[in-house]
Chain A
Amino acid sequence: GNSVTQMEGPVTLSEEAFLTINCTYTATGYPSLFWYVQYPGEGLQLLLKATKADDKGSNKGFEATYRKETTSFHLEKGSVQVSDSAVYFCALSETGNQFYFGTGTSLTVIP
């Protein structure tokens, strides 16, 4: 079956630190991979995505590369800001009908 495993949180970083949130997946076929972000009191919104192996998704300084050989889609940012404090979810979808989410990683960035 399909599943997503992501790094347990919470994660606390100082401003301008480097961020990595690990995500690995299990899928029966060739899924699209996503990172969603949830700011406090809001719904989830798409941060970035990749639809095939070796694709790199990027947005707002965040990047993630679809690695088929390691079944991974790790989220990285070179220099985090206080405004990046949120919960980050890794997700996959094979059919476009069903999406499978990881448990979420809470990030707090302190000044």
Chain B
Amino acid sequence: NAGVTQTPKFQVLKTGQSMTLQCAQDMNHNSMYWYRQDPGMGLRLIYYSASEGTTDKGEVPNGYNVSRLNKREFSLRLESAAPSQTSVYFCASSERELNTGELFFGEGSRLTVL
């Protein structure tokens, strides 16, 4: 059982380039999330999707777009990368209806923007 899978694990971009981070979960969860982790800042929510077909902004959505492709997949796109987007990105999923309240995280994607 893979859980939450993110790709790529590492990426280096130049300022202005675009890229998409992919995330897939095999736990049949309705809710999926994208967080970024920065030193001294903890985890900050970028976007989340409470169910297939819906997406909502989190705390730091500027510069990002998301797509909930189907129940399994939730991608994060940087259209024009900036050095401020250098971070570790985590995808997570949860099953709100079961009221477990637990988030399941992927292993993270480390992005460097030069």
Contacts and interface: CB of A to CB of B under 8 A. Distances in A.
A32 interface: yes
B107 interface: yes
A103 B101 contact: no
B74 interface: no
Contact of A101 (B43, B101, B108): B43
Interface in B74-102: 90, 92, 94, 96, 99, 101-102
B42 A96 contact: no
Given A34-B101, A46-B102, A93-B101, A98 B90 contact: no
B17 to A, nearest CB: 25
B113 interface: no
Interface residues of A, number: 22
Contacts of B94: 96
A97 B105 contact: no
Contact of B96 (A51, A97, A103, A104): A97
Contacts of B4: 43
Nearest to A103: B42
A103 B108 contact: no
Contacts of A51: 101
A26 to B, nearest CB: 15
A49 B102 contact: yes
Contacts of A98: 45, 48, 58
A34 to B, nearest CB: 7
Interface of B: 4, 31, 33, 35, 40-45, 48, 50, 58, 90, 92, 94, 96, 99, 101-103, 105-108
15 contacts: A42-B107, A42-B108, A43-B106, A43-B107, A43-B108, A46-B102, A93-B101, A95-B96, A96-B94, A96-B101, A97-B31, A97-B48, A98-B58, A102-B42, A103-B40
